[in-house]
């Protein structure tokens, strides 16, 4: 509450004749919705940490509290993979979409802390099983295949080892806009890994 009150106070400050002016007023304010979010797809277009932090600063000023960070998509895999570095290899990304650019786990942790200091929860999105062209190109299999599910299990375990639940209690798995032969088997397996 104190953080948001300060944002409101900053919005009320103006300058007049070279002086800072703060008009007297009474404010009764509370958010209408518990989740006030913003989603950014860096899987399609990579953005530097500096630019992401600038956007988080603006979000905080407008009292937005959830940042959905869409880290994988058709053009590229933006999460560091120690076990499968081919996911980050430029040759497996679309050449017109910042190939080879990705976030290290140190970068991801840094942004999560930066967001938390601004009362913003980061929800990383690892889109599956659709929107996965870069995965298929790098790994030579579809996500919903037996091999693909095993790779994703390793990828998720690595992510959770690097980014603990305390830092990031929610993850988004996508699962939309795609038809596969085994949707229930696939999603049940991925959700059980997350749990």
CA distance 118 to 116: 5
What is the 3-state composition of the chain as percent helix, strand, coil, each rounded to the nearest 5? 40, 15, 45
Catalytic choice (177, 181, 184, 185): 177
Q: Yes or no: say if 190 and 152 are a contact pair by the CB < 8 Å rule.
A: yes
- The answer for residues whose C-beta is within 8 angstroms of residue 193's C-beta and 6 or more apart is 152, 153, 156, 157
Among the listed residues 125, 129, 133, 130, the one whose alpha carbon sits nearest the alpha carbon of residue 146: 129
Active site residue 144: no
Q: Strand, helix or coil at 43?
A: coil
CA distance 120 to 59: 8
- Could you list the active site residues? 177
């Amino acid at each position: 509450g104190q953080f948001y009150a300060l944002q409101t106070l900053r919005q009320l400050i103006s300058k007049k004749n070279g002086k800072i002016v703060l008009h007297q007023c009474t404010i009764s304010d509370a958010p209408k919705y518990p989740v006030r979010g913003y989603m950014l797809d860096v899987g399609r277009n990579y953005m530097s940490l500096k630019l992401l932090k600038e956007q988080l600063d603006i979000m905080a000023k407008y009292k937005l509290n959830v940042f959905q960070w869409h880290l994988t998509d058709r053009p590229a895999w933006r999460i560091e993979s120690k076990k499968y570095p081919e996911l980050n290899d430029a040759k497996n990304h679309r050449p017109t979409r910042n190939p080879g650019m990705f976030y290290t786990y140190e970068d991801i942790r840094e942004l999560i802390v930066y967001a938390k200091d601004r009362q913003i929860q980061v929800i990383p999105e690892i889109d599956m099983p659709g929107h996965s062209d870069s995965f298929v190109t790098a790994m030579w299999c579809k996500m919903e295949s037996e091999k693909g599910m095993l790779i994703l299990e390793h990828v998720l375990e690595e992510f959770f080892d690097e980014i603990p639940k305390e830092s990031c209690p929610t993850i988004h798995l996508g699962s939309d806009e795609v038809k596969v032969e085994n949707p229930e088997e696939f999603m049940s397996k991925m959700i059980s890994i997350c749990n």
